[in-house]
């Protein structure tokens, strides 16, 4: 069996080497896509445009405003002369947050009363608005605590009793950088697209060149043909995956916390599932254009929207959640984030590997069956 597979592997390597476009797609385009998506797709909300209307114009109101100005989350843009300007600035998307300080702000604080400060948020982008409101709440809470401590000191008390000692610890991503969450998803997204597209074109290319008829009359079995065409792409895709992981470390500081050997095994299984899907598409399509379009539709959209790459699967309707079980990137993402971010072992995601392995068996098996029918 190996003696019949070996010539196919050699032939495929030579064909890939001659086809510079396919080699570029497999090796360099993934790293380029990682750079583009990695910097463009960022969920961190920083440098939110801020406008302030300070009617009080006191030292206390200025101290309150300084808390916003010295934060990396806000960029001070406008100092308003009236509240009427807020509507115009938000309509033109020049401002996301507007803080309104009333005239009696400092007077009430000095009298030990509750002062009111209005915060107006542009809610057209719910994600940005919600995150920005969280930052505003934290700043106001911190300033309120400072005022309370100062009031107690004037009364002769040097400390403020906190009923609960809140000491948060963030594991796996202490800086809460969205890149460390998104980059593993980008790796799955990019590998899925490039592997499926490249392999889907391989068999179709044979059909268009007329060499498939020669292969079908040879003593090579369909499964041997499938395996022979898969091995070169697995090797090249692994090189591509290593380039992407290296770029992730250099550009986004994504360090592999777990076992490199386990990561290699996970990558091989996932890439084989992608290549199996690509080969299955190639057995159905008759032209490279059809194969390309089918590969993009089947690999890109489901991987981006239904794998948990960006959108949590638990937030989706039940019917959509059921559909995610046929997306191989879903299982790969769980395993990849476990190894890369958490440093866990196989016991944490062995069920995901089983699902991926089943996907490999099904896709390669169906490809072999379809190839066998065409040979007959």
Asked if 315 and 181 sit in the same domain, the reply is yes
Quickly state the pLDDT bin for 1 (edges 50, 70, 90): low
Instruction: Give the separation between CA 68 and CA 45, rounded to whole angstroms.
Output: 14
> What is the model's pLDDT at position 354?
93
28-72 pLDDT, tens digit per residue, is 777 777 777 777 666 667 788 899 999 988 888 888 888 888 877
Asked if 236 and 363 sit in the same domain, the reply is yes
> What is the model's pLDDT at position 355?
93
Asked if 93 and 195 sit in the same domain, the reply is no
Question: What CATH number did the domain enclosing 63 receive?
Answer: 3.40.1710.10
Q: Is 164 among the domain residues?
A: no
Give residue 202's domain range.
2-41+177-375
Asked if 15 and 117 sit in the same domain, the reply is no
Asked if 13 and 88 sit in the same domain, the reply is no
Please report the DSSP string for 220-275 in residue order: --HHHHHHHHHHHHHHHHHHHHHHHHHHHHHHH-----S-HHHHHHHHHHHHHHHH
Tokens of 38: 């990695």
Q: Is 159 among the domain residues?
A: no
- What percentage of the chain exceeds 90 in pLDDT? 6
Asked if 275 and 195 sit in the same domain, the reply is yes
Quickly state the pLDDT bin for 141 (edges 50, 70, 90): confident
> What is the model's pLDDT at position 261?
92
Q: Is 171 among the domain residues?
A: no
**Can you tell me the mean pLDDT for 171-177?**
73
> Higher confidence at residue 151 or residue 376?
151
Of 108, 139, 154, which closes a domain?
154
Instruction: Give the separation between CA 303 and CA 294, rounded to whole angstroms.
Output: 14
Place of tokens 């029918």: 373
| Dihedral over Cα of 338, 339, 342, 348: its sign | positive
Of these ranges, 151-155, 208-212, 293-297, the one predicted with the greatest mean pLDDT is: 293-297
**Can you tell me the mean pLDDT for 228-247?**
80
Instruction: Give the separation between CA 164 and CA 148, rounded to whole angstroms.
Output: 16
**Can you tell me the mean pLDDT for 219-224?**
68
pTM: 0.73
Tell me: pLDDT of 133 over 80: yes
Asked if 329 and 193 sit in the same domain, the reply is yes
Please give the mean pLDDT across all residues of the chain. Answer: 80
Instruction: Give the separation between CA 206 and CA 8, rounded to whole angstroms.
Output: 12
Helix, strand, or coil (residue 79): strand
Task: Report the domain count for the chain.
Answer: 2
Task: With beta carbons less than 8 A apart as the criterion, state whether 263 and 353 touch.
Answer: no
Task: With beta carbons less than 8 A apart as the criterion, state whether 117 and 129 touch.
Answer: no
15-26 pLDDT, tens digit per residue, is 766 766 666 666
**Can you tell me the mean pLDDT for 256-281?**
88
Asked if 99 and 148 sit in the same domain, the reply is yes
Tell me: pLDDT of 219 over 70: no
Asked if 183 and 221 sit in the same domain, the reply is yes
> Higher confidence at residue 153 or residue 59?
59
Instruction: Give the separation between CA 202 and CA 68, rounded to whole angstroms.
Output: 57
Asked if 303 and 351 sit in the same domain, the reply is yes
Tokens of 297: 């539709």
Q: Is 56 among the domain residues?
A: yes
Asked if 75 and 131 sit in the same domain, the reply is yes
Quickly state the pLDDT bin for 162 (edges 50, 70, 90): low
Q: Is 163 among the domain residues?
A: no
Q: Is 215 among the domain residues?
A: yes
Q: Is 167 among the domain residues?
A: no
> What is the model's pLDDT at position 42?
65
> What is the model's pLDDT at position 280?
85
> What is the model's pLDDT at position 304?
82
Task: With beta carbons less than 8 A apart as the criterion, state whether 120 and 80 touch.
Answer: no
Asked if 28 and 59 sit in the same domain, the reply is no
């Amino acid at each position: 069996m190996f003696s019949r597979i070996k010539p196919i592997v050699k032939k495929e390597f030579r064909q890939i080497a001659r086809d510079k476009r396919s080699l570029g797609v497999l090796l360099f385009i993934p790293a380029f896509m990682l750079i583009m998506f990695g910097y463009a797709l960022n969920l961190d909300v920083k440098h939110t445009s801020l406008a302030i209307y300070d009617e009080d114009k006191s030292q206390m109101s200025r101290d309150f405003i300084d808390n916003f100005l010295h934060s990396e989350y806000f960029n001070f843009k406008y100092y308003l002369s009236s509240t009427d300007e807020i509507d115009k600035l938000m309509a033109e998307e020049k401002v996301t947050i507007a803080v309104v300080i009333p005239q009696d702000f400092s007077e009430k604080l000095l009298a030990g009363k509750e002062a009111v400060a209005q915060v107006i948020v542009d809610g057209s982008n719910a994600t940005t608005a919600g995150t920005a409101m969280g930052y505003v709440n934290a700043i106001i809470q911190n300033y309120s605590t400072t005022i309370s401590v100062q009031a107690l000191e004037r009364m002769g008390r040097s400390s403020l009793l906190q009923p609960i000692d809140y000491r948060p610890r963030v594991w796996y991503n202490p800086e809460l950088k969205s890149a460390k969450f998104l980059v593993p998803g980008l790796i799955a997204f990019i590998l899925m697209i490039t592997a499926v597209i490249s392999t889907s074109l391989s068999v179709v290319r044979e059909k268009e060149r007329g060499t498939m008829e020669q292969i079908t009359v040879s003593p090579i079995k369909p499964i041997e043909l499938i395996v022979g065409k898969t091995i070169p792409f697995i090797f090249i895709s692994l090189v591509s995956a290593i380039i992407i992981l290296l770029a992730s470390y250099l550009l986004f500081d994504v360090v592999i916390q777990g076992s490199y050997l386990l990561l290699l095994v996970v990558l091989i299984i996932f890439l084989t599932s992608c290549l199996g899907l690509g080969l299955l598409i190639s057995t159905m399509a008759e032209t490279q254009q059809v194969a390309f379009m089918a590969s993009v539709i089947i690999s890109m959209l489901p991987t981006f929207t239904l794998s948990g790459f960006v959108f949590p699967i638990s937030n989706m309707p039940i019917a959509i959640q059921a559909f995610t079980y046929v997306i191989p990137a879903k299982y790969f993402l769980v395993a990849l984030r476990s190894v890369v971010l958490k440093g866990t072992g196989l016991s944490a995601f062995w069920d995901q590997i089983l699902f991926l392995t089943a996907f490999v068996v099904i896709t390669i098996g169906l490809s072999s069956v379809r190839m066998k029918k065409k040979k007959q």
